[in-house]
Amino acid sequence: MKLIDNIADMKSYSDRIRAEGNKISFVPTMGALHTGHLKLIKNANNISDICVVSIFINPAQFGPTEDFNKYPRDLDKDKGLLKEIGVDAIFFPKLEDMYGDHFQTYVEVEELQKPLCGKLRPGHFKGVATIVLKLFNIVKPHYAVFGEKDYQQLQVIKKMVCDLNLDVDIISHPIVREQSGLAMSSRNDYLDSGQREKACSISQALFNIKQQFDTGITDRNNLLDSAYSILNKANIDEIEYLEIVDGKNLIEKKLAGPGDLVAIAARLDGTRLIDNIRL
């Protein structure tokens, strides 16, 4: 397994792989790898000759009051996990190399970045789109795999790839859940066992909406009402949003239809959790 910590080496590694006619798959991560990441990375590893994983905690996607400084970091553990899977290369660039002197070029996917998380995290998707574009230009993958838990991120990146004429196939990977239903996330590390139990009600609320929809209920308010009572019963009172939106353009729907997305963001004693389900 190659350990690559600088941009020029990563570019020449990828140039060589491509010149040999091999296909590169790529999974960008912020480290703190959990089973969700690992399943997704195994998938990426299976579909290509060479699999590259990046580990970079991207300050541009954190707001000034967010958890950039306390975001979990354990590079050695991550390296061990990736070696076990049989990843070909890890790219872990330095902050000052990715955002050098007078860095000032940003990409925005102007409509898709606005709703849902975009409302509460201004600048977040600008930071995401910019770092992903930079990483694509450095790692030069044929395929890149993103998890569906960050559904809005996935749509933002797909649209960026299309609009900017990039030659990368974006592959999405289903949400990986714990037995309890809780969507796996590096931020689950912040939760103690009591909070973890409470957090399950987030996925339960989504499953409840899907169940109701499958019985024929389509009115947004009807669908959301009982979900809210599940969340209230679990004392999750800081719900940033719980919304039914079009699965492609993320515009809010009053009447739900097949393919629509139910998306939620909630805070649990300061820890921000997101989840979603397709109808």
Residue numbers annotated as active site: 37
Find out whether 272 and 261 touch, Cβ atoms under 8 Å.
no
> What is the rounded distance in angstroms from the CA atom of residue 54 to the CA atom of residue 140?
12
Residue with smaller CB distance to a second copy, 55 or 138 = 138
Residue with smaller CB distance to a second copy, 109 or 184 = 109
At residue 202, φ and ψ (nearest 5 deg) are -65, -50
Site for a second copy in 248-267 (CB under 8 A): 249
Dihedral sign for Cα 155, 156, 162, 163, please: positive
x/- map, 104-143, a second copy, by CB under 8 A: xxxxxxxxx----------------x---xx--xx-----
Binding flag, residue 163, a second copy (CB under 8 A) = yes
In b/e form, how buried is each residue of 24-33, taking b as 16+ CB within 10 angstroms? bbbbbbbbbb
Binding flag, residue 9, a second copy (CB under 8 A) = no
Please report, in angstroms and rounded to a whole number, the separation of the first and last CA atoms in the chain.
40
Neighbour count for residue 66 (Cβ, 10 Å): 14
Return the residue of 63, 80, 86, 100 that touches a second copy, per CB under 8 A: 100
Binding flag, residue 167, a second copy (CB under 8 A) = yes
Provide the phi-psi class of 169: left if phi over 0, else alpha when psi is between -120 and 50, else beta: beta
Q: Work out whether strand 50-55 and strand 89-91 pair parallel, antiparallel, or are unpaired.
A: parallel
Binding flag, residue 193, a second copy (CB under 8 A) = no
Candidates 161-169, 196-204, 260-268, 269-277; binding stretch for a second copy (CB under 8 A):
161-169
Residue with smaller CB distance to a second copy, 137 or 229 = 137
Binding flag, residue 165, a second copy (CB under 8 A) = yes
User: C-beta of 130: minimal distance to a second copy in Å?
Assistant: 8
What is the size of the binding site for a second copy (CB under 8 A)?
A: 28
User: C-beta of 165: minimal distance to a second copy in Å?
Assistant: 4
Find out whether 125 and 150 touch, Cβ atoms under 8 Å.
no
User: Tokens standing for 35?
Assistant: 């089973």
Residues that bind a second copy (CB under 8 A): 7, 11, 100, 102-112, 129, 133-134, 137-138, 159-160, 162-167, 249
